[in-house]
């Protein structure tokens, strides 16, 4: 495979049959047998394929981008789910504390009455 990269080592062009290219074109890029890696899909990121000519290796650089409407909705749904879970956990903790408080009030009342109810 023949590739061309820009000054940031970003792959800007590929050709899968380098033997069909002129020698002048081949001098402007790199011939490699390496295969492209698979990019991760990260919300709010764009994967930019890069090539390191010294190591003869490909890698991705992830750059920030605007979230799509769908990604924004997914993020809001995730945030809402997290908030609801936290709220439920808080309510359970409050109920547990109320029970403990009731038990302590009962013990105090028993102690004030000399231990007999």
How far are the Cα atoms of 32, 99, 103, 108 from residue 96, in angstroms, in the given order?
65, 5, 11, 19
Contact assessment for residue 64 and residue 57, using Cβ atoms and an 8 Å cutoff: no
- Mind listing the pLDDT tens digit for each residue in 54-101? 999 999 999 999 999 998 999 999 999 999 999 999 999 999 999 999
* Model pTM score: 0.60
Share of the chain above pLDDT 70, in %: 97
- With contact defined as beta carbons under 8 Å apart, do 18 and 30 qualify? no
Q: Tell whether the model's pLDDT for residue 47 goes beyond 90.
A: yes
Query: Does 116 score more than 70 pLDDT?
Result: no
């Amino acid at each position: 495979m023949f590739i061309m990269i820009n000054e940031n080592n970003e792959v800007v062009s590929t050709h899968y049959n380098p033997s069909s290219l002129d020698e002048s074109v081949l001098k402007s890029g790199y011939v490699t047998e390496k295969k492209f890696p698979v990019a991760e899909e990260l919300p709010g990121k764009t994967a930019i394929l890069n090539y390191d000519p010294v190591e003869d290796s490909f890698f991705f650089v992830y750059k920030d981008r605007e979230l799509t409407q769908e990604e924004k909705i997914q993020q809001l749904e995730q945030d809402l789910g997290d908030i609801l879970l936290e709220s439920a956990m808080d309510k359970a903790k409050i109920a547990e504390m109320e029970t403990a408080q009731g038990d302590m009030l009962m013990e105090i009342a028993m102690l004030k009455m000399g231990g007999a109810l």
